[in-house]
Structure 1
Amino acid sequence: MAIIRPFNGLRPKVALAAQVAARPYDVLSAAEAKQEAAGNPYSYYHVSKSEIDLPDDIDTHSQQVYDQAAANLRKFVQDGTLFQEDQPAYYIYKLVMNGRAQTGLVCVSAVADYNNGIIKKHEFTRPDKELDRINHIKTTLAQTGNVFLAYNDVPEVNALIEQWQEQHAPIYDFTASDGISHTVWVVNTPTAVQEITTLFAEKVPATYIADGHHRAASASLVQKELQENGKITSVDNPANYFLTTIFPASQLAIMDYNRVVKDLNGLSKEAFLSNLDYFFNVEEIGHLPQQPTMLHEFTMYLEGRWYRLVAEEGTYTTDPIGVLDVTILSNNILSKYLGIQDQRTDKRIDFIGGIRGLQELVKRVDSGEWKVAFALYPVTIQQLFDIADSGNVMPPKSTWFEPKLRDGLITHLI
């Protein structure tokens, strides 16, 4: 069963919460973060993407960057921008985007649960990305990025969280520049804290990583290193846990994660379209972008025209991986005709989160830098759970969750 704990969160004073809050470090470039943080000395990008305070040509994985992050975090604490909770607490974090709300519990989850498979994964991690977060955690002595977890709804947990929101005022309540609202409550009464801890221990057999595989993996590796070096002497050591926000599955929505490819691998447009007929029902649908409307349906943009591709029966299997649209696309188009065998490393393919819309696909292809774009129907949360339960992993860049948790609102010190 899931082991979660309250913790002494490091968080901004109320008047500065909106200025501190920053998008996750891995969804934007250093240049974009620098632009967003311009004129805002309180932005958490100074911690999560501290290269913005260094010369533009700095190696973003150099120790100087991590040292700068640690210095900036210390400064925020020293000048009172951030303060640490005086007693362990849970936090309720509600996000509203385009009228849709999702409410999660901010806590620390046990590294042991991650290592033992109670916290389930659905993606491979890359060693270079792990090392970046390892160095960031070890230098700052903080987990500054949140791991987004999901779980199958437990009515008692949902009811408790709803009741707390109704009976208590939030500590933060603001709308960010992108229109997403962020509201946070602190749960610090001993009775409520114990009830939450017990409910998860008794009612939640597993949690699932929705977003943040590298953050989770790095927390585990840091804990292992500290333990091997004799620096963890108690089961209550903060490094035995990592920062998570856990959402009930019923409230979550996964967005599409689309692809663009640089060329047709030597094929003419006519030959490429002819090949697609073997595995798809292909229909030209005009100049206007159209989203896929169901599983196993794709839309494709090529030379100014949109096409609808519907996978024929027999082109995919019914196992948790084979039934995924990302697998169908990979097996029947990307690898078979476009020569893309490893999407994680091939520079001829790029991935576009659905939050950017189909116009981003049009923009990329019309620029001439990319030849063809594919729009996919989103993976469902149940598909994610099924794959994680089976012990398999999804193909790269299969899921895109929105809205994103903001960094800086709650940090876990180790």
Structure 2
Amino acid sequence: MAKIIPFKAVRPSPDKVGLVTCRNYEDYSAAELAAWLNFNPYSFLHVINPAYANVQSISLDKRFKGVALKYKDFKDENIFIQEERPAFYLYEINTKNKIFTGIIAGTSIKDYQNNHIKKHEDTLEYRVEMFKNYLHQTRFNTEPVLITYPDSIELTTWILLKKQNEPLSQFSTTNKEKHTLWKIDTQSDIDWLADHFENIPDLYIADGHHRSASAEMLYKDDKHLGNPNLDYFMSFLIAESNVKIYEFNRIIKDLNNYTKEDFLKKIAQHFIIKAKEQELWKPQNKFEFGMYLDGNFYALFYKNEKIKNDSFLENLDAQILYDTILNPILGIEDLRNDERIKYIPGKQSITAIKEVIDEGNYKVGFMLYPSDISEIKTLADNNLIMPPKSTYIEPKFRSGLIVYEL
């Protein structure tokens, strides 16, 4: 049974919401970041990146305190306003290719601990600790965990009905997305939605494993303070069929001292190799891989006799690539920290891989077929962990749109 709660959100004033919200901080190049900070005084980037010109020269502790102070400034200037009563929110993101619609709510730390909110990715302890310290210092979060729920005709019908109401805010962004937010605050709607999720046995984290782990760590450290908001973390709940899952492709700096010919012979032990020359070929099915090497594309087909029908993790394409090529041939053991490997989201054209390799800093690139939600759920149900950077999942939430205070 999944427990969700409404909460008293902090959000941008309606006339400034399009100016305040921003993409994830890490999505901006240095030039973009400087431009937004110089020319948009309302951007939430000012909050999450205070004193940005000197950000590399100050400690994390001072930076987090600066975030808290700048957030207070935004509230004092009425750029942010506090809701008077708890509410759920309905949020729609309309992109060029897809419309995403989900529910913003508080989800239970106890459900997370009891594995009713299931995970499929491992976390890095230092990142969890760092974000926990961030939450402890700033006392707010604006990046919800993306969580999927099973498709429900009843819930889909309810959402369509609520979308006919006047939205709380609506705005477009420079990357040509349209964002719409509705507030769900009548007691009957709140009760109906909470009751509906009470009948869902399990939820699944799609994106945000470090954020949820940090929320749990903060709960353990600070629950003695008696703040009920610590019992929950903000989530964006979306139907399984509504998420978009891309692969993460890989580029490698060298062939681990193999010649091209020897390298091809090595991978031929596990794959049928077909030269595609200049054709921009990408996998069409599971157990297929694309490769770009020395100016040419190749199709790699995993040999069927190697497939193990009873092993969920070993049948995952990202794991197959690691077990057959990246580790034994190219000598890459630590997928998170080895500087010889870089990851490119599958939503980018494979020409991006070609261009990077043609520039000479990388030697070989691999294109994967994206996982689907059933693979993610199967791994989570069996307490298995995907290799790092196995999935790039959309939608991506706008920072500063909804703030959950701690």
TM-score range, shorter chain: over 0.9
**8 A contact 2:142–2:401 mirrored in 1:** no
Residue 10 of structure 2 is matched in structure 1 by 10
For the pair 1:246 / 2:237, whether they are aligned, the reply is yes
Residue 386 of structure 1 is matched in structure 2 by 378
Within 5 Å, give how 1:11-30 maps onto structure 2: 11-28=11-28
**8 A contact 1:146–1:407 mirrored in 2:** no
Task: Pick the aligned partner of 1:232 from 226, 229, 233.
Answer: 226
For the pair 1:42 / 2:42, whether they are aligned, the reply is yes
Of residues 312-321 and 339-348 in structure 1, the stretch that sits farther from structure 2 once superposed is: 312-321
**For the residues of structure 2 that align with 1:38 and 1:292, how far apart are their CA atoms?**
43
**For the residues of structure 2 that align with 1:296 and 1:51, how far apart are their CA atoms?**
46
Task: Pick the aligned partner of 2:192 from 195, 207, 232.
Answer: 195
**For the residues of structure 1 that align with 2:76 and 2:139, how far apart are their CA atoms?**
16
Task: Pick the aligned partner of 1:347 from 315, 331, 339.
Answer: 339
Residue 79 of structure 1 is matched in structure 2 by 77
Residue 209 of structure 1 is matched in structure 2 by 205
For the pair 1:55 / 2:49, whether they are aligned, the reply is no
CA shift, 1:142, in A, is: 0.6
Mark the CA change 1:384 to 1:37 in structure 2 (over 3 Å): closer, same or farther. farther
**8 A contact 2:244–2:395 mirrored in 1:** no
**For the residues of structure 1 that align with 2:17 and 2:271, how far apart are their CA atoms?**
50
Mark the CA change 1:52 to 1:278 in structure 2 (over 3 Å): closer, same or farther. farther
CA shift, 1:27, in A, is: 4.2
Secondary structure of 2:357 counterpart: helix
Residue 290 of structure 2 is matched in structure 1 by 299
Structure 2 length normalisation: TM-score?
Answer: 0.96
**8 A contact 1:180–1:403 mirrored in 2:** no
Residue 310 of structure 1 is matched in structure 2 by 301
Mark the CA change 1:193 to 1:249 in structure 2 (over 3 Å): closer, same or farther. same
Mark the CA change 1:320 to 1:68 in structure 2 (over 3 Å): closer, same or farther. same
- Structure 1 runs of 4+ aligned residues shifted over 4 Å read 26-32
Of residues 291-300 and 387-396 in structure 1, the stretch that sits farther from structure 2 once superposed is: 291-300
Aligned-residue CA RMSD (Å): 1.6
Could you report, residue by residue, the CA deviation over 1:384-412 in whole angstroms, capped at 9, with x for unpaired residues?
11111111110000110123111110010
**For the residues of structure 1 that align with 2:26 and 2:129, how far apart are their CA atoms?**
14
Residue 140 of structure 1 is matched in structure 2 by 138
Secondary structure of 2:16 counterpart: helix
Residue 355 of structure 2 is matched in structure 1 by 363
Letter in 2 for 1:187: I
Secondary structure of 1:356 counterpart: coil
Mark the CA change 1:345 to 1:383 in structure 2 (over 3 Å): closer, same or farther. same
Task: Pick the aligned partner of 2:160 from 159, 162, 177.
Answer: 162
CA shift, 1:32, in A, is: 5.0
Within 5 Å, give how 1:250-261 maps onto structure 2: 250-261=241-252
**For the residues of structure 1 that align with 2:25 and 2:383, how far apart are their CA atoms?**
28
Letter in 2 for 1:22: C
CA shift, 1:153, in A, is: 1.1
**8 A contact 1:258–1:353 mirrored in 2:** yes
**For the residues of structure 2 that align with 1:37 and 1:289, how far apart are their CA atoms?**
38
Secondary structure of 1:337 counterpart: coil
CA shift, 1:28, in A, is: 4.7
**For the residues of structure 2 that align with 1:34 and 1:288, how far apart are their CA atoms?**
39
Task: Pick the aligned partner of 1:397 from 389, 392, 400.
Answer: 389
**For the residues of structure 2 that align with 1:213 and 1:221, how far apart are their CA atoms?**
12
**8 A contact 1:120–1:207 mirrored in 2:** yes
Structure 1 length normalisation: TM-score?
Answer: 0.94
**For the residues of structure 2 that align with 1:69 and 1:279, how far apart are their CA atoms?**
51
Could you report, residue by residue, the CA deviation over 1:104-151 in whole angstroms, capped at 9, with x for unpaired residues?
000010111111111101111111211221121111111121111111
CA shift, 1:30, in A, is: 6.2
**For the residues of structure 2 that align with 1:288 and 1:134, how far apart are their CA atoms?**
47
Of residues 404-413 and 130-139 in structure 1, the stretch that sits farther from structure 2 once superposed is: 130-139
Of residues 315-324 and 76-85 in structure 1, the stretch that sits farther from structure 2 once superposed is: 315-324
Letter in 2 for 1:220: E
Letter in 2 for 1:321: L
Letter in 1 for 2:45: Y
**For the residues of structure 2 that align with 1:384 and 1:368, how far apart are their CA atoms?**
35
Secondary structure of 2:347 counterpart: helix
Of residues 302-311 and 95-104 in structure 1, the stretch that sits farther from structure 2 once superposed is: 95-104
Mark the CA change 1:296 to 1:52 in structure 2 (over 3 Å): closer, same or farther. farther
Residue 273 of structure 1 is matched in structure 2 by 264
For the pair 1:286 / 2:285, whether they are aligned, the reply is no
**8 A contact 2:289–2:301 mirrored in 1:** yes
Residue 98 of structure 2 is matched in structure 1 by 100
Secondary structure of 2:174 counterpart: coil
**For the residues of structure 2 that align with 1:382 and 1:411, how far apart are their CA atoms?**
31
For structure 2, the residue ranges without an aligned partner over 5 or more in a row are none
CA shift, 1:274, in A, is: 1.4
Paired positions, count: 405
> What's the % identity of the aligned pairs?
32
Residue 90 of structure 1 is matched in structure 2 by 88
Secondary structure of 1:109 counterpart: strand
**For the residues of structure 2 that align with 1:120 and 1:181, how far apart are their CA atoms?**
30
**For the residues of structure 2 that align with 1:10 and 1:87, how far apart are their CA atoms?**
11
Secondary structure of 2:146 counterpart: strand
CA shift, 1:155, in A, is: 2.1
**For the residues of structure 2 that align with 1:200 and 1:243, how far apart are their CA atoms?**
15
**8 A contact 2:50–2:70 mirrored in 1:** no
Could you report, residue by residue, the CA deviation over 1:211-230 in whole angstroms, capped at 9, with x for unpaired residues?
11111111110111012xx2
**8 A contact 1:148–1:210 mirrored in 2:** yes
Letter in 2 for 1:219: A
Of residues 358-367 and 391-400 in structure 1, the stretch that sits farther from structure 2 once superposed is: 358-367
